[in-house]
Chains A and B, each alone.
Chain A
Amino acid sequence: KAGVTQTPRYLIKTRGQQVTLSCSPISGHRSVSWYQQTPGQGLQFLFEYFSETQRNKGNFPGRFSGRQFSNSRSEMNVSTLELGDSALYLCASSPSWDRGPFQETQYFGPGTRLLVL
């Protein structure tokens, strides 16, 4: 099976712009989660989607939003970019999150590296 794919891999934006990142989960996986990785804050959970619904959310401002499509692909949007948004954004998928086996493993994509100038 193909792994989690993320596009684009690298992105340069300027302050005030907005950006959309895309994630395609492993085939058959229904849950998609997003994380932000920075040297200072480490890995932080952004949100999780299952069946096109946001089921979990981290402590990020409303400028960060996401959505999931019927084919489980997900997008993440950041509006009004700030310098501090420069980070590696990671997407992870898992088979299902129907409040049952939360021991399921999340499989990560290679990430999108965003640089805000």
Chain B
Amino acid sequence: AQSVAQPEDQVNVAEGNPLTVKCTYSVSGNPYLFWYVQYPNRGLQFLLKYITGDNLVKGSYGFEAEFNKSQTSFHLKKPSALVSDSALYFCAVRVRSNDYKLSFGAGTTVTVRA
């Protein structure tokens, strides 16, 4: 069975500091990996995805993520966090063996303090 793990329920950082949100996956086959962000009382907004090619993926709002096949990880990063980055972040994976259904991690709440 495929799974996505976000080992940290919460991440707290000061504004201007680097932000990292961790994601690891366990799948059979090649994964398609996604990051989404959810603000209170809103739907999910797409940030970035890894399909193939360059392991470093750049996305919206200054976010990037690095695909690491050997460590089965896809951590989300931002060099300098903003207070407005405070939100709930979801990692998701899709694989052929699961009919390409999108499976989400439990989510990580990010709080950026001024």
By a beta-carbon cutoff of 8 Å, the part of chain A in contact with chain B is 4, 6, 33, 42-43, 45, 48, 56, 58, 90, 92, 102-103, 105-111, 113
Q: 14 extra interchain contacts, Cβ-Cβ under 8 A, other than A92-B44, A102-B100, A111-B42?
A: A4-B43, A42-B104, A42-B107, A45-B101, A45-B102, A56-B100, A90-B43, A102-B32, A103-B49, A103-B52, A106-B46, A107-B46, A108-B36, A108-B45
Inter-chain CA distance A91–B34, complex, in Å, is 17
Q: Does B54 contact A (CB under 8 A)?
A: no
The B77-104 residues at the A interface (CB cut-off 8 A) are 90, 94, 96, 99-104
Please, how many residues of chain B have a CB less than 8 angstroms from a CB on the other chain?
24
- Chain B residues contacting A6 (CB-CB under 8 Å) are 43
Inter-chain CA distance A36–B52, complex, in Å, is 29
| Most chain A CB within a 10 A radius of its CB, from B43, B44, B51, B103 | B43
Q: Which residue of A58, A102, A111 contacts B43 across the interface (Cβ within 8 Å)? A: A111
By a beta-carbon cutoff of 8 Å, the part of chain B in contact with chain A is 32, 34, 36, 41-46, 49, 51-52, 90, 94, 96, 99-107
Inter-chain CA distance A4–B45, complex, in Å, is 11
